[in-house]
């Protein structure tokens, strides 16, 4: 009987040893990043130019060294009247291509020509108030940030806010490209 007890004790000790040794593997060692990368320098790599800025009223305009003067027909942004009509885009939006606009063709992620090159809109097929679910990412304009739904109406893509108000409408202007404008009159373009 003592022989059975000592054999059972030996089996238990060996089993415990195997269990503990199994916890000490090096399979996660490949995930260790090792030495972290060196920090980037906090100083500019190129020389910095200094000079006087022109006065706010536009009088006595001078250019800083290394800058070209204004070309004929250009207007200094600081001298624009804030109460004047908004500037029109340099290039007019493309004309409608006449291609039919379908919900199936619109679903997915689109790059939005905006103030941020990483601005995206995601058009989903989930039913939502005002049409189908829409969400924007990394878009800085308030109009685009307000978009929560979309739909296709009269061969146009219509973007809607959470109150059901139309924010923008776009039409097909080529393969994988849609142009239009917001209700505020700003041009808007989707592409992928």
Ranges in the chain, pLDDT < 70? 1-4, 18-48, 57-98
Give the 3-state secondary structure of the chain.
CHHHHHHHHHHHHHHHHHHHHHCCCCCCHHHCCCCCCCCCCCCCCCCCCCCCCCCCCCCCCCCCCCCCCCCCCCCCHHHCCCCCCCCCCCCCCCCCCCCCCCHHHHCEEEEEECCCCCCEEEEEEEEECCEEEEEEECCCCHHHHCEEEEEEECCEEEEEECCCCEEEEEEEEECCEEEEEECCCCEEEEEC
pTM: 0.50
Under CATH, what is the fold of the domain 109-191?
A: Lipocalin (2.40.128)
pLDDT recorded at residue 12: 81
pLDDT recorded at residue 72: 47
Domain boundaries, the chain: 109-191
């Amino acid at each position: 009987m003592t022989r059975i007890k000592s054999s059972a004790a030996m089996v238990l000790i060996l089993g415990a040893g195997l269990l503990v040794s199994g916890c000490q593997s090096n399979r996660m060692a490949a995930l260790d990043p090792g030495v972290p990368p060196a920090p980037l320098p906090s100083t500019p790599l190129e020389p910095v130019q200094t000079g006087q800025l022109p006065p706010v009223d536009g009088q006595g305009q001078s250019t800083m060294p290394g800058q070209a003067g204004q070309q004929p027909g250009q207007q200094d942004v600081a001298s624009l009247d804030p109460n004047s009509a908004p500037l029109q885009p340099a290039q007019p939006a493309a004309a409608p291509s006449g291609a039919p606009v379908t919900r199936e063709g619109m679903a997915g992620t689109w790059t939005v020509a905006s103030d941020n090159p990483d601005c995206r809109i995601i058009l989903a097929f989930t039913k939502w108030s005002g049409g189908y679910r829409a969400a924007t990412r990394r878009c800085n304009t308030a109009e685009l940030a307000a978009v929560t739904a979309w739909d296709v109406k009269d061969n146009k893509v219509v973007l809607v806010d959470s109150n059901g108000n139309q924010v923008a409408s776009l039409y097909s202007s080529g393969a994988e490209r849609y142009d239009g404008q917001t209700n505020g009159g700003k041009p808007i373009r989707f592409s992928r």
